[in-house]
Amino acid sequence: MFKSIGDEISSVFGRDPAVRSRLEVALCYPGFHAILFYRTANWLWKRDIKLLGRFVSHLGRFFTGIEIHPGATIGKEFFIDHGMGVVIGETAEIGNHVTLYHGVTLGGTTWNTGKRHPTLGDNVVVGAGAKILGPLTVGDGAAVGSNAVVVKDVPPGHTVVGIPARVVDHGKKKLDEAHFAAYGTTTPDMPDPVSKAINGLLEHIAKLDTRIADLEGSQSDNNGSVTGIEKDEGDTSEKRADC
């Protein structure tokens, strides 16, 4: 147990440049505190002491602003940065080395029992304010941009942004390559999918304009040739009439 807690603390050092010591993490990081509450509540939940598990979870929400259902499944070295407003549903499944920022929701879209919350693979990064809704899967090494709304599966190693979320980066890193991307972005100039679509339409329109201009030029040349032929034929007919 103590080794697990030590691993949780150590994992913060590779993901937050503001951290200065292990003691600072233990005392001042609500994301770490929320994990301690969750581990305790989950231990009780698995032993069918569900009411007490929910109460411990509620205490964690009160002290940290992070709501994690004790029935959720969370892997090792899970890190919540800042934390306020994070909600993780009962049937959510989270892999190892996953990072969530504040305001993230792993929510359900149905009142039916059974699997209704997302599954996140290993090394996933979810940016601030993102919403991942329904029993979908976010693959290993994927990144979800800030304020994105994800309603369908995200392939491994891909980055999605927007509402609804669309793929903007097909991932050049290997899936077994540990990496960290701040706020779910891979580069500072991550393209916006809407702008990309508009630019594509503009390029297509420009190509169509060029083709229309070429066709009009060809038509003008053909008309000129036909007029010249008709004029020559008229001249020949006049000469024959004179004879």
Transcribe 109-153 into DSSP letters: S--SSS--S-EE-TT-EE-TT-EEESS-EE-TT-EE-TT-EE-S-
Q: Which two tokens mark 128?
A: 């601030």
The residue assigned the tokens 């509450």 is 37
Q: What is the pLDDT of residue 8?
A: 82
Instruction: Say which residues have a Cβ less than 8 Å from residue 95's Cβ, sequence separation at least 6.
Output: 75, 120, 121, 122, 123, 124, 140
**For residue 220, pLDDT beyond 90:** no
Q: Backbone phi, then psi, for 207, in 5-degree steps? A: -65, -40
Helices 2-13 and 30-46 sit at what angle, rounded to 10 degrees? 150
Q: What is the pLDDT of residue 120?
A: 96
Respond yes or no: is residue 33 known to be catalytic: no
**For residue 184, pLDDT beyond 70:** no
Report the alpha-carbon distance of residue 69 to residue 208 in Å, rounded.
Answer: 55
Would you place residue 174 in the very low, low, confident or very high pLDDT band (cuts 50, 70, 90)?
very low
**For residue 176, pLDDT beyond 60:** no
CB 56 within 8 A of CB 76: no
Indicate which residue of 33, 97, 102, 158 is catalytic.
102
* CA 144 to each of CA 80, 132, 152, 220, 230: distance values in angstroms, whole numbers, following the listed order: 14, 9, 12, 54, 69
pTM for the complete prediction? 0.72
Q: Where would I find the beta strands (DSSP E) of the chain?
A: 67-68, 73-74, 79-80, 87-88, 93-94, 99-100, 105-107, 119-120, 125-126, 131-133, 137-138, 143-144, 149-150, 159-161, 166-169
- The stretch 28-32 carries a mean pLDDT of 91
Report the alpha-carbon distance of residue 148 to residue 145 in Å, rounded.
Answer: 6
**Domain locations along the chain:** 2-189, 192-243
> How many CB atoms neighbour CB 216 within 10 A?
10
pLDDT digits (tens, 9 = 90+) for 82-122: 889 999 999 999 999 999 999 999 999 888 888 999 999 99
Q: What is the pLDDT of residue 170?
A: 65
Report the alpha-carbon distance of residue 2 to residue 36 in Å, rounded.
Answer: 11
Length of the chain: 243
Report the alpha-carbon distance of residue 115 to residue 90 in Å, rounded.
Answer: 9
**For residue 37, pLDDT beyond 90:** yes
**For residue 197, pLDDT beyond 80:** no
Percentage with pLDDT > 70 across the chain: 79
Would you place residue 172 in the very low, low, confident or very high pLDDT band (cuts 50, 70, 90)?
low
Would you place residue 63 in the very low, low, confident or very high pLDDT band (cuts 50, 70, 90)?
very high
CB 117 within 8 A of CB 108: yes
**For residue 213, pLDDT beyond 70:** yes
Which homologous superfamily is 2-189 in? Hexapeptide repeat proteins (2.160.10.10)
Report the alpha-carbon distance of residue 240 to residue 233 in Å, rounded.
Answer: 11
**For residue 186, pLDDT beyond 80:** no
